[in-house]
Structure 1
Amino acid sequence: MNREQRHMDRIRKKRKRHIILFIIFIAVLIATVCIGLISYISTNVYQNEDEFREYADDELKKTSQFSVRGKTKIDYEYGRPISYVIDYGVCDNESIAVFRDQKIKEIKEKYQQDKNAEEESRAKRYEDQRNYRPLEHALILRSSVYESDKGVISLSIYESENSERKKDMEQDASMIYTYQFSAKTGKILIPQQIFSEKYKEICSEFFMKYFRKNYKKDELKDGWQDYVTAGENNFNKYALTDTGVTFFFDEGTVLDESRGVISAGIPEADMGTGLRNKILERYIDPTKPMVALTYDDGPGGGAETRILECLRKNGDVATFFYLGSRVAGNSANLKTAYDLGCQIGTHTWNHPVLTKLKPEQIQKQFDDTNAAIKAVTGEDPTAFRPSYGETNDTINKMSAMPVIMWTVDTLDWKSRDGKKIFEEVKKMKNLDGKIILMHSIYDSTADATDLIVPWLKENGYQLVTVSEMIKYKTGADPKKGQVYRTF
Structure 2
Amino acid sequence: MGGKNMFKTMAVPIAIFAVIAISVAVIFLALPPAAVSVTVARMFPSSEIPRVTQNYSIDFESPAYHAIGTEQSLSEKDGTHSYDIKYPSVTSQTVSAAILSKARLFLDDYSKYTEEYADLNTYMDADYDLFTVGAGYYGLVMVANSYCANGAMYSSGIRTANYDVKSGKEIFPVDYMKEGALERISAICTAAFVKQFDRDDIIAEALSPEKSNFENLLLAADGLHVFFPEGRVVPDSSGIIEIAIPYASIKDYCMLPSEITEAAVRAEEKAAADKQPEPTAAEPTATQFAAKSNQPMVCLTFDDGPNVGTTDKILDVLEKYNAHATFFIVGSRLENNAARQELVKRAEALGCEIGSHTWSHKDLRKVDEAAAGSEIEKADDILENVLGRKAAVLRPPYGDFRGPVRERVNKPMILWNLDSEDWKTKDTASIIKAVNAVDSNKNIVLMHDIYKPTAEAVEKIVPALIKKGYKLVTISEYYAAQGIELKGHKVYRGLTVS
- Which is bigger in relative contact order (C-alpha 8 A, separation at least 6)? 2
Structure whose CA Rg is larger: 1
What's the TM-score, normalizing by structure 1?
0.41
TM-score, with normalisation over the residues of structure 2? 0.40
